Amino acid sequence: MAWLGVFFVAPIVIVALYSFNVYTLFPGPHGFTLDAWHTVAGSGIYRHLFWKSIEMSLIVSISIVVLAYPLAYYLALSGTRRKYVLLLLLIAPFLTSYLLRVLAWKVILGDQGVINSFLVWTHLRAPEHPISQLLYSRFAVMLVLAYIWLPFVALPIFVALENLDQRLLEAAGDLYASRWRAFVAVTLPLSLPGVIAAFFFVFIPTIGEFVTPSLVGGTGGYMYGNQIVDKFGAGFPDWETGSVLALFLIIVVAILTALFSRFLQPQRVAAE
């Protein structure tokens, strides 16, 4: 509790005090005001940016859950002896630097990168008309985020599936349930806590992402997290507005987590 108080609650309280101008970067007169909150609430630009980030995070989270599920299913339930070797192979790239992995995508996605060069080589695109949306775009951010977060999605689903009571599947088979029916009625509901946990492992951190967008996002991939960073450290310090933006993000994430936390309780879901 003390740890949580010092390293989580206290910093949030300090940020809140900045947002109300009770604390300020600059010396001189200051006092409680809701000005920054009013500014953010009345700004269509911030709202637009927030929804854009939510949309991007949702697309990333849902896409990789859909991609990772069959992968985790195969690893956990196919009965292959090499499942831990395959699992290790899946997470192997993540033993290298985050920055290096993101930068590697630049080599692949650039106008003269691997993909565009291949398309030119196969005469599918003219050299002067590469697919420029591959890099410095919203797509590039979502692709790289999906790649970066894939293991964080695959592992919880893998654990959920591996802990599945195999006897339930056998029972479904004894009752003449087809494999698909057994999957829908048994496997999927019981693995749902893992799926939901995996979804949130990705959705929550990616809403506030700013490193990946700043490396591969260009103007189109600029996210809500970038705006928070810029408010604190670029142009001219505006810690008041930056704090409001940060707190708003925390509040939204907290509400979402509370709403879906019941899915993180396996026994309850299983009972239903």
Closer residue to another protein, CB minimum distance, 193 or 242: 242
Provide, rounded to whole angstroms, the least separation between the CB of residue 136 and another protein.
5
Output 61 or 241, the one with its CB closest to another protein.
Answer: 241
Beta carbon nearer to another protein, 48 or 179: 48
Other CB atoms within 10 A of residue 237 CB: 13
Min dist CB 256 to another protein, Å, is 22
Residue whose CB is less far from another protein, 5 or 233: 233
134 neighbors 140 (Cβ within 8 angstroms): yes
Q: Which is nearer to another protein, 45 or 271 (CB)?
A: 45
Task: Kindly state the smallest distance separating residue 235's Cβ from another protein, in Å.
Answer: 3
Per-residue HEC secondary structure of the chain comes to CHHHHHHHHHHHHHHHHHHCCCCCCCCCCCCCCCHHHHHHHCCHHHHHHHHHHHHHHHHHHHHHHHHHHHHHHHHHHCCCCCHHHHHHHHHHHHHCCHHHHHHHHHHHHCCCCHHHHHHHHCCCCCCCCCCHHHCCCHHHHHHHHHHHHHHHHHHHHHHHHHCCCHHHHHHHHHCCCCHHHHHHHHHHHHHHHHHHHHHHHHHHHHHCCCHHHHHHHCCCCCCHHHHHHHHHHCCCCCHHHHHHHHHHHHHHHHHHHHHHHHHHCHHHHHHC
User: What's the min distance (Å) between Cβ of 90 and another protein?
Assistant: 29
Q: Which residues bind another protein (CB under 8 A)?
A: 25-27, 43, 45-46, 48-49, 106, 110-113, 132, 135-136, 214, 218-219, 222, 226-227, 230-239, 241
Question: Whole-number minimum distance, CB 34 to another protein, in Å?
Answer: 18
Nearest distance in Å: CB 20, another protein = 18
* Closest distance of CB 110 from another protein, Å: 5
Nearer to another protein, 134 or 150 (CB): 134
Q: What is the distance between the alpha carbons of residues 235 and 228, in angstroms, rounded to a whole number?
A: 13
Question: Nearer to another protein by C-beta: 203 or 224?
Answer: 224
- 229: which residues sit within 8 A by CB, 6+ positions away? 210
